[in-house]
Chain A
């Protein structure tokens, strides 16, 4: 950073929220300094070692060659272990029935995300200090920028939102095709809808990013850059003279000064200063930085997540068919099921084919020897699918215990589900099982609720519009500390069953636009 660059805004974090807030500011000519705790990491498309699959799948240091700990294969890739592991080392949170997914990496969690996107509608925004119309321009801007593909005229299109332009969908695999055909051919379903998934995957090349070529490499990082990754936006931001990025500067303390804020960073000799701070370190990262500002001593805060259930499915019609040689391992289909009359009482999720997933993680769950288990999985895999089912955030009941009394920040995360979840989960499972059977897919034993937090749909800590000390304004400004804006998931007042990233990005964009116009 050149010394004469006096930033008007410091953005902490280079993930989807950080870049989304920074872009409108930079476009408006404001001087923005982004700080990033990690050091630059090459995009999968820039890695020179493409030729050796083991490096991609196990990691250069074999970090991913480790026993199965029950987490989803997505969180066990070398990149995920690096991104999330880096965060866990930095944040030092204690976890109880909770798995803290955060990122200490350039581009944040977008390096490992599932790329599933959906807009919130007016009913999802209940309790928010803003309307769907206010969010729509930001949804449009983000959708245009990151590139989203899917259908605009199936039963799920309106549910996923229609604010922005949608690219043509990817061709779905044979297993998903069977289910979608049966859905279209059958009688209408009560409370249930199925359609193509809406993913942040390019199906049309754009700039340096190439379109998806169905190479089945999704899990380990798209080598073509077809899946959106915040580092792509970061590269574009770095071409602006009024934007600067500082690497390897993990924020450790924020201090109020007469004319603004100072950020102390690990390894930095001098604090970085700006009139306004935007915290975009990811829900848990921002929690770590913002809690000391509240000066609450010991306190308990609420944390929302979207409880997640995985259901393995078998399609007998696909048995004995050859496995497809191309495809993608992100969600192929999306669905929604209303389980009660209230507008937010629905579950949603995706249907995934298993051909690109590592057989070892399935064989580890089959009640047979390794050799037979692998053979059985390989034989079944053309007929297998996985449905992920996300429940609304009010089904979660997690707590954060924060203790800043000793000078250090000690955070504990305790995961739990709401009282009614014990009734809701079996009900949803029963109803979905019946629907899957109608669609020609038989639920296999082994459906399980994932550990809280692994869904990575977190929020509700510093809700926008809440008047309490830990609340924030409609622009995410902490009441306790004017000039500090929280622009990531931590300020979402509620978590719906829909994936959160697009909304976090749109909200950050909205806050960025607002601040761009503030003197």
Chain B
């Protein structure tokens, strides 16, 4: 019989992905919330703070509580009126009444009594409350989730994606350490807690065991998504908080919440290696995991198309060739550096940025070699160039030489 999970916040960034992954593992999902869930999800109307209908819990293995009311944080801060506080407690009690074996609470690595932002304080207070509920020993699990990235561009990840699409970024907290984790890894961790929790761990940290500075994280994002460098300009925190207020007033500028700025300013890493090991999670290198994101995929296809065109000397009518080259070069470390956009439009310009002689240690040269192999494996008749073509190629080669002496080192 399939296991049944009750999920709040099932339409959110993590929730939507959690539902997909749970279903892929053969779980049934009941979504508690105001928005209808996805396919094959039993949706039950519910609002944070209300006791849910007990029928929602029938046969459930676990409740995964992801929903968070941000508006209430803004209105009530950490005061008792915050709907999140009462809401989680009511839900946990109801689940306990209905005999649900486990209650998983999505917390944060900024959950600390001294957190700068309300979010961190509230999550901490909630953890304490849930753990103190009577007869909840061994039933309540808190997952402290780090900086989530990957998957569909939503929530905080959407904001970071948007910010890192710019070459220059004024930013606060560049030296703060953050612990990125892919949304799929978060989901796997939550599912492990829900379905088969490791013994003796009530609070687990779902975050990278190797913290990186926020500045480096933004650079990683830009490098992986766009293959380019990011210039960061440090901004004092006080100025940033003001800027948050202004950002709301100026149209077409991404709005940044004060909460997020404060959350970042107060970030401090938490050890996670043991928790991850207990859950059986090994985190992927974000640079690899991000290769699947849309801008990276789009760039990969554009670069492969241009390289094939350059090597073949003509436009190829073979989507298969592009796909084959893309499949292999996406793993190539050289792909992390984008080719100049001019070369994507006029592939002949690659002649100017190739190294002096082919080298398998040189990123562009290596990728062009693979492109040449792909072209050779197409069924077209090999062309034997005439004397004119040969003379033209050699002339262009001579013209390109001075450029290659300089630029040949850049795309290595």
Contact = CB atoms under 8 A, between A and B. Distances in A.
Interface of A: 53-54, 56-58, 62, 64-69, 320, 322-323, 358-360, 363-376, 378-379, 381-382
B354 A369 contact: yes
Contact of B370 (A57, A67, A363): A67
A422 to B, nearest CB: 28
A57 B376 CA distance: 9
B370 A65 contact: yes
Contact of A69 (B354, B360, B368, B378): B360
Given A58-B324, A58-B374, A62-B324, A375 B393 contact: yes
B313 A371 contact: yes
Nearest to A367: B357
A7 B114 CA distance: 78
Contacts of B311: 370-371, 374
Given A54-B320, A320-B387, 9 more contacts: A53-B377, A323-B382, A360-B372, A360-B373, A369-B404, A370-B365, A375-B393, A376-B393, A379-B384
Nearest to A355: B382
Nearest to B408: A369
Interface in B284-332: 310-311, 313, 320-321, 324-325, 327-328
Contacts of B325: 65
Contacts of A368: 357, 397
A409 B400 CA distance: 55
Of B348, B377, B396, B400, most buried by chain A (CB within 10 Å of CB) is: B377
Closest 5 CB pairs of A and B: A54-B377, A360-B372, A57-B377, A367-B357, A372-B397
A371 B396 CA distance: 10
Interface of B: 310-311, 313, 320-321, 324-325, 327-328, 348, 351, 354, 356-358, 360, 365-366, 368-370, 372-374, 376-379, 382-385, 387, 389-390, 393-394, 396-397, 400, 404
B354 A370 contact: yes
Contact of B393 (A364, A371, A381): A371
B126 to A, nearest CB: 49
B376 A366 contact: no
Given A322-B384, A323-B384, A67 B357 contact: no
Contacts of A69: 360
Contacts of A373: 358
A269 B97 CA distance: 53
Contacts of A367: 356-357
Nearest to A76: B373
A374 B372 contact: yes
Contact of A360 (B321, B369, B385, B389): B369
28 contacts: A54-B321, A54-B324, A54-B377, A56-B377, A57-B373, A58-B324, A58-B377, A62-B327, A65-B324, A65-B325, A322-B384, A323-B382, A358-B373, A359-B372, A363-B369, A367-B356, A367-B357, A369-B397, A370-B310, A370-B311, A371-B310, A371-B311, A372-B351, A372-B396, A373-B358, A375-B385, A375-B393, A378-B385
B376 A371 contact: no
A67 B376 contact: no
A153 B135 CA distance: 99
Given A68-B369, A371-B311, A54 B378 contact: yes
A277 B269 CA distance: 63
B328 A62 contact: yes
A69 B360 CA distance: 8
A382 B360 contact: no
Contacts of A372: 351, 393-394, 396-397
Contacts of A379: 384-385, 390
A149 B394 CA distance: 42
Nearest to B348: A371
Contacts of A364: 358, 360, 369
Given A57-B376, A65-B328, A369 B387 contact: no
A165 B265 CA distance: 86
Contacts of A56: 377
A408 B399 CA distance: 60
B372 A363 contact: yes
A66 B389 CA distance: 29
B373 A369 contact: no
Contacts of B321: 54
Given A62-B328, A360-B369, A370-B365, A378 B394 contact: no
A378 B393 CA distance: 12
Contacts of B369: 67-68, 360, 363-364, 370
